[in-house]
Amino acid sequence: MAAVDSFSLLFREIGRSCNCYIETLALIGALYIVKMGFTFVNDTYTLIRLHFIPRLVRRPDLVKLYGKWAVVTGGTSGIGRYYAKELASRKVNIVLISRNQEKLEALAREIADTYKVKTDIIVVDFSKGSEIYPVIKKALMDKEIGILVNNVGVFYTHPDYFTNLTLDKIWELITVNIGAANMMVHMILPGMVQRKKGAIVNVSSMSCCQPTPLMTAYSASKAYLDHFSRALHYEYAPQGIFVQSLIPFFISTKMMKFSRDLSKKSFLVPSAEEYAHHAVTTLGISRRTTGYWLHTILFLLGQYIPEWLWAWGAYRMNNTLRLEASSQGPY
């Protein structure tokens, strides 16, 4: 009888302990659901605030907010070309910097004739390193630079293994993707600080979000730009400077020519013109954004993907693109 009583008592104690654990787990589950609900509401609000509300209100006066001139690096094609046009449509004077003089002159004339703003060009090759920056500094000396768009960048010929890259390509990725943004900011930021206003846009990439196999050096260079932008904002926001990390996903530009699908405009792959039209509206609103509403949805979803799953998916996709590019031969 004593054994039965002892067992009954033990059973009751176990039951009470289990109830306690169940209640604790239920509380943790409820808190998690609340957290996820709050995150969903916040993400939805962010999406609407960034990409829809700005289209319903009067466009801000960028000249008054930041200054008379904008500098756009890598401005003859892709995002840079159309970002420059968007700024010019808001009456900002444009300085285009790239290595192709003929294309620079043609685009400068087009912008000046279409938008009735002043334009200037600087012909340099950012892959040449430090020797070009005294030339740029001299050309910009008398201009009130209110907006700097660090768009210039280089990519792989196609996704590939790191050891297949040439040494020249590795140095080009470092010199252009990282060095150019640092040197341009170091050159132009003091004038902004003196005037206590200005905006810097550093064009990063979706590959900065998590490690991206077969784009290793490229994604690392873009991660640098993302962290550089975010830290720079904390340093200089109190002095009136807005710094934005712009994180596009796939855009239909010549960088994507290795893929038949990604080089064509689609629902998730906008043209550079469409992308720039959206991205400019986020200037002064978000410090870190994809610039395009569909890309923002992908970015928000990507934040919940574990690193190993992102890396696995990126490897599978990039390896498919690598094989596709290899089958096409040189281009």
Write out pLDDT tens, residues 16-64: 666 665 666 666 666 656 665 665 566 566 667 666 676 666 678 999 9
pLDDT for 242 equals 97
The answer to whether residue 13 sits within a structural domain is no
Write out pLDDT tens, residues 118-141: 999 999 999 999 999 999 999 999
CATH assignment at residue 199: 3.40.50.720
The answer to whether residue 25 sits within a structural domain is no
pLDDT > 70: percent of the chain: 81
Find all residues with CB under 8 Å of 184, minimum gap 6, and list them.
71, 73, 136, 148, 150
Write out pLDDT tens, residues 89-111: 999 999 999 999 999 999 999 99
pLDDT for 37 equals 61
The answer to whether residue 32 sits within a structural domain is no
The answer to whether residue 304 sits within a structural domain is yes
Tokens coding 63? 């000249």
Tokens coding 102? 């003929």
Q: Are 63 and 147 in contact (CB under 8 A)?
A: no
User: Could you tell me where the DSSP H helices lie in the chain?
Assistant: 2-51, 62-65, 78-89, 101-115, 133-140, 167-172, 180-195, 216-236, 272-280, 293-302, 307-328
Average predicted confidence (pLDDT) for the chain: 87
Residue 115: closest CA among 86, 158, 147, 143: 86
Q: Which residues are catalytic?
A: 218
Quote the number of domains for the chain. 1
pLDDT for 309 equals 93
Could you tell me the residue range of the domain that residue 57 belongs to? 49-328
pLDDT for 56 equals 63
The answer to whether residue 196 sits within a structural domain is yes
The answer to whether residue 178 sits within a structural domain is yes
Rounded to two decimals, the pTM is 0.84
pLDDT for 325 equals 81
pLDDT > 90: percent of the chain: 64
The answer to whether residue 93 sits within a structural domain is yes
**21-25, 295-299, 324-328, range with the lowest pLDDT:** 21-25
The answer to whether residue 22 sits within a structural domain is no
